[in-house]
Amino acid sequence: MFVVQGPCGCELTISGLIRPGWEHVAVSTPRRCPNWEEMCFVKDLFWDEEECVMQLHPPHSQYVNNSRYCLHLWRPTHRDIPMPPPGFVGVVGLGPSEAATWFARMSATAI
């Protein structure tokens, strides 16, 4: 376990474990859950930028919550994580400002 200064100015407490079949990193802050930018920062500390890791939302019956402000990253070691095609997420090749314009134009024509 160690503490690093995160990209948003908040201290991040990080612990990592390798368990049979899994790589795991837990990330927490003192007063809130880590945000997207902080989780991306930690992901890049532990894995290559082209590796896929995941956060999970398990069934409620399997929840384990020992810390209010902790999120987890997981990567199975013996299989690839299935991913949807990039086009299912948004318009490939558009940055945020171009995508906002594109989605606004598409919404206006759908009315």
Kindly list the domain boundaries of the chain, sorted by start residue: 2-80, 84-111
State which CATH number among 1.10.3430, 2.60.40, 3.40.1720, 1.10.1060 fits the domain covering 2-80.
3.40.1720
- Write out pLDDT tens, residues 57-108: 999 999 998 999 999 999 999 999 999 999 888 888 888 888 778 778 878 8
Q: What's the Cα-to-Cα distance from 7 to each of 11, 40, 97, 105, rounded to whole Å?
A: 9, 10, 22, 34
Query: Which H or E run contains 71?
Result: strand 70-76
Q: How far apart are CA 25 and CA 45, in angstroms?
A: 10
Cβ atoms 107, 53 nearer than 8 A? no
Per-residue tokens: 77: 């070691």
pLDDT at 95: 82
Judged against a pLDDT cut of 70, whether residue 111 lies above it is answered with: no
- Write out pLDDT tens, residues 24-59: 999 999 999 999 999 999 999 999 999 999 999 999
CA atoms within 13 A on the CB side of 37: 6
Number of Cβ atoms within 10 Å of the Cβ of 9? 6
Report the predicted TM-score, pTM, of the whole model to 2 decimal places: 0.83
Query: Which parts of the chain fold into alpha helices (H)?
Result: 36-46, 96-110
